[in-house]
Amino acid sequence: MKRLATLALGALLTVNAFALFGETEPNDTRATADMVLYGNSAPWADVGVISLTANDSDFFKIRLNAGDYLTAITFPISTLYNVPDTVMALFDATGTTAIVWNDDAGSGFGSAIRWQATATGDYYIAITGYHGGVQSSLSYYEGATHGEAGDYILTVSVVPEPASMVALGTGLVSLLALRRRKKN
């Protein structure tokens, strides 16, 4: 019985393993967004070392279910905390105004966003270098002109709302109980 539970939990953890990712340029617009994170099933958390060059923007397409908690963080590493100075936003599939956006989180120049999805759908994480303009506008990221160059670590995690996690746990426990009854 214990072994079955371990196997079931192991399978869950394997499906949702932590993964290292990279980017494929060009990914400078919503239409050309990198698909490397698309198709993950929550809960998941992936981390990538991403390169920002002058005038570069990096878009990553993700899928969220209503209720999912998204967290995305950029950590500048060319000069720890500070270079490149990133700005990050989250867009839905059609809107030109960001759902959430951030320039500097904490005392450095990295960026952080957190959002609970209000609807199931495709979403886009957009990252560019700091420059003047309206940071909530899609045009701040598509066709950006900036001089920020360097590597940053991008960490993205998606966690279902606690109710879904409880349902998942309850389902697993019921499955195990059913197996036990069959055995007896």
Q: Which is nearer to Ca ion, 50 or 64 (CB)?
A: 50
68 lines the binding site for Ca ion (CB under 5 A): no
Site size for Ca ion (CB under 5 A) = 6
Q: Which is nearer to Ca ion, 29 or 164 (CB)?
A: 29
92 lines the binding site for Ca ion (CB under 5 A): no
- Report the residue from 46, 58, 68, 85 that binds Ca ion according to the rule CB under 5 A: 58
Secondary structure of the chain: what % helix, strand, coil (to 5)?
A: 20, 35, 40
The distance of closest approach from Cβ of residue 177 to Ca ion in the complex, given in angstroms and rounded to an integer, is 49
The distance of closest approach from Cβ of residue 40 to Ca ion in the complex, given in angstroms and rounded to an integer, is 20
* Cα 118 to Cα 11, 12, 43, 115, 133, distances in angstroms: 29, 25, 17, 9, 28
User: Looking only at residues 13 through 52 of this chain, which bind Ca ion when binding is defined by CB under 5 A?
Assistant: 25, 27-28, 51
As a residue count, the chain comes to: 184
The distance of closest approach from Cβ of residue 53 to Ca ion in the complex, given in angstroms and rounded to an integer, is 6
The distance of closest approach from Cβ of residue 165 to Ca ion in the complex, given in angstroms and rounded to an integer, is 33
How many CB atoms within 10 Å of residue 67?
A: 17
56 lines the binding site for Ca ion (CB under 5 A): yes
Q: Which is nearer to Ca ion, 116 or 145 (CB)?
A: 145
Is the Cβ–Cβ distance between 68 and 158 less than 8 Å? yes
The distance of closest approach from Cβ of residue 153 to Ca ion in the complex, given in angstroms and rounded to an integer, is 13
Axis-axis angle for helices 162-183, 2-15 (nearest 10): 140
Is the Cβ–Cβ distance between 130 and 52 less than 8 Å? no
Q: Where are the beta strands (DSSP E) in the chain?
A: 19-21, 44-52, 57-64, 69-76, 86-91, 100-102, 111-116, 121-129, 150-159
Q: Kindly list the residues in this chain that would bind Ca ion in the complex (CB under 5 A).
A: 25, 27-28, 51, 56, 58
